[in-house]
């Protein structure tokens, strides 16, 4: 006859209605003794429930989201092999447990000092010479786990704690659990810190136990508040994140944020801590809305929503970890004025910093003779104006650039995120940096290879106007395959533009000027355009960069070369 065994929820303390957050078995699975069946979560711990027998799962009586208590059926097993003989009956188990309790009680009675630590006890009581009750706070029975990691310390010397208030948080390979205080009192000493390993019976601190009247009338203070330090702001007062960016330019107060505590202690259940770790939320910055400012899951969600809604726009939040800059009080040397960066400047500062520290930059300089190109442009000037077009040198340069990009396709590419392949692009979308009163923007002109000089000149005028009027959309500034930054209208002889990721190169143009150029017989005046090519040295080497700018200079010297494509 088939031996069907019912596996039920074991004693999980006084936690009734524990939530099932994970189901680890299904019908047909073969499980061994101590194999986990379900994962339960209470307000104090997340724990796996192991199987008391070995066998084949014939039915599962619960599902994720159910609430169970001691004695509730989890699964039914069909006994296999030696599991039947190894399984003790419930009456026998009860008898063994009863005898164990009797023996424990007898041993405790014989002790002429204080009671020895029982497996379900958190404290040992010692009476000192002045009749104050001092207790050692010890690690309770945590099953067969030893050297368990302390992942959070919730108390500090001088803190007043209430009964059942969390003291430390432990993490094993099966559960994260809070160790609660079994009595109310004042913490006099803390013996552990985050990162320590503890086992059952280890002392984690000392406490002066409150009298019955004190325990009933005195509420717990925030556990980690040191009594001798200055008073901390209450949790109801919104504050800013305490980091270097906030010190330099404070962000607006927000109800979901609080000041980062210097002791790093927060008050949250294990499930909330795990939820915060999954989302990458720093609980020390989250304001709790629960009882005694305890952080709830909803607080974490609100904090993450707020963080995602605001741009991380400071120049110190780049892609590479950098030493924190010291805060300088400039006002001590004279009168100062603080002016907020525009949104464009904030976003640009982050992107430029990321690009500069993550892309190995090299800049190659070359002068292009555009004497004939400019003469050709001027010959078309009146004709273009009649057509409503304002011809600029940049439209011609863009056509010459595409001609050179086709000859050097590596420059019209992006480095794949795996760092092991190159994405060669068969389109020519050129980003053009445009100066606006609020900062620099880089709109993109698409399919430059398919458009004529007049059309490119018109589009250049249109995107420049849209940029200055703040009418550019997100799509207008995405998808470039190469970028041009022109400072010719301002001046300068050369500069080192920063590569705009994910492009691998950028061409900087300075102001052209008439210069004497030796033609082999004599010096003649020629209109020379200074060019500065910055490139990603992971993709492009110096020889290729030199060949690129030489090719481009030759193309611009004789713009008819674009007809050779």
> Residue 265 in 3-state DSSP?
coil
Residue 435 tokens read as 């100066």
Q: Which of 330, 361, 537, 551 is catalytic?
A: 537
**Could you tell me the CA-to-CA distances from 553 to 213, 365, 396, 536 in Å, in that order?**
91, 11, 12, 20
| Phi, then psi, of 249 in degrees rounded to 5 | -150, 90
Q: Across-strand partners of 20?
A: 40
- Answer whether 378's CB lies under 8 Å from 390's CB: no
**Is the bond preceding 374 in cis, omega lying within 30 degrees of 0?**
no
CA 482 vs. chain centroid, Å, equals 30
Maximum Cα–Cα distance for the chain, whole Å?
117
Residue 42: burial class (beta carbons within 10 Å; 0-12, 13-18, 19+)? buried
What is the distance between the alpha carbons of residues 536 and 362, in angstroms, rounded to a whole number?
A: 7
What is the distance between the alpha carbons of residues 148 and 140, in angstroms, rounded to a whole number?
A: 12
What is the distance between the alpha carbons of residues 175 and 451, in angstroms, rounded to a whole number?
A: 64
Following DSSP, what letter does each residue of 451-511 receive, concatenated? S-HHHHHHHHHHHHHHHHTT---GGGG---SEEEEE-TTT--S---PPP-TT-SEEEEE--
Specify whether the backbone of 396 is left (phi greater than 0), alpha (psi in -120 to 50) or beta: alpha
Instruction: Please indicate whether residue 537 is annotated as part of the active site.
Output: yes
Q: Can you point out the beta strands (E) in 100-202?
A: 123-127, 133-138, 148-153, 160-161, 166-171, 176-180, 185-190, 197-198
**Could you tell me the CA-to-CA distances from 179 to 20, 151, 237, 246 in Å, in that order?**
21, 12, 29, 35
Active site residues: 537
């Amino acid at each position: 006859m088939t031996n069907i065994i019912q596996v039920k929820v074991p004693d999980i303390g006084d936690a009734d209605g524990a939530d099932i957050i994970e189901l680890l078995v299904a019908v047909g699975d073969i499980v061994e003794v101590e194999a986990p069946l379900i994962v339960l979560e209470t307000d104090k711990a997340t724990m796996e429930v192991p199987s008391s027998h070995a066998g084949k799962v014939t039915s599962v009586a619960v599902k994720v989201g159910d609430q169970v208590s001691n004695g509730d059926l989890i699964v039914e097993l069909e006994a296999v092999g030696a599991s039947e003989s190894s399984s003790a009956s419930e009456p026998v188990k009860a008898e063994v447990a009863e005898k164990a309790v009797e023996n424990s009680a007898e041993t405790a009675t014989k002790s002429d000092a204080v009671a020895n630590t029982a497996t379900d006890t958190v404290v040992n009581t010692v009476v000192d010479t002045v009749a104050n009750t001092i207790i050692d706070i010890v690690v309770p029975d945590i099953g067969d786990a030893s050297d368990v990691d302390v992942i959070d310390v919730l108390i500090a010397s001088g803190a007043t704690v209430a009964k059942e208030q969390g003291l430390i948080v432990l993490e094993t390979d099966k559960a994260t659990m809070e160790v609660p205080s079994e009595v109310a009192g004042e913490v006099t000493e803390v013996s552990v810190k985050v990162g320590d390993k503890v086992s059952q019976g280890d002392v984690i601190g000392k406490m002066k136990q409150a009298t019955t009247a004190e325990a009933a009338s005195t509420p717990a203070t925030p556990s980690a508040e040191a009594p001798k330090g200055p008073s901390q702001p209450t949790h109801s007062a919104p504050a800013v994140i305490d980091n270097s960016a906030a010190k330099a330019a404070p962000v607006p107060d927000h109800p979901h944020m609080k000041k980062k505590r210097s002791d790093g202690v927060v008050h949250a259940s294990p499930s909330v801590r795990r939820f915060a770790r999954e989302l990458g939320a720093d609980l020390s910055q989250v304001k709790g809305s629960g009882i005694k400012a305890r952080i709830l899951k909803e607080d974490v969600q609100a904090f993450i929503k707020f963080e995602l809604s605001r741009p991380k726009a400071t120049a110190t939040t780049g892609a590479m970890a950098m030493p924190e800059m010291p805060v300088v009080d400039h006002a001590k040397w004279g009168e100062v004025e603080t002016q907020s960066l525009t949104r464009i400047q904030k976003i640009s500062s982050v992107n430029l910093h990321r690009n500069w520290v993550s892309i190995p930059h090299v800049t190659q300089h070359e002068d292009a003779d555009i004497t004939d190109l400019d003469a050709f442009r001027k010959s078309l000037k009146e004709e273009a104006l009649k057509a409503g077009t304002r011809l600029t040198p940049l439209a011609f340069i863009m056509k010459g650039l595409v001609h050179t990009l086709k000859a050097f396709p590596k420059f019209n590419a992006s480095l794949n995120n795996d760092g092991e392949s190159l994405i060669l692009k068969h389109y020519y979308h050129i980003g053009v940096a445009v100066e606006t009163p609020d900062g620099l923007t880089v709109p993109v002109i698409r399919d430059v290879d398919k458009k004529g000089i007049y059309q490119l000149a018109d589009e250049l005028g249109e995107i420049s106007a849209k940029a200055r009027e703040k009418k550019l959309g997100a799509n207008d500034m995405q998808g470039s395959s190469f970028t041009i930054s022109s400072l010719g209208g301002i001046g300068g002889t050369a500069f080192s533009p920063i590569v705009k990721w994910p492009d691998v190169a950028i061409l900087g143009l300075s102001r052209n000027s008439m210069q004497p150029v030796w033609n082999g017989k004599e010096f003649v005046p020629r209109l020379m355009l200074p060019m500065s090519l910055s490139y990603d040295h992971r993709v492009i080497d110096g020889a290729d960069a030199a060949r690129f700018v030489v090719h481009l200079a030759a193309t611009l010297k004789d713009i008819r070369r674009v007809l050779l494509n």
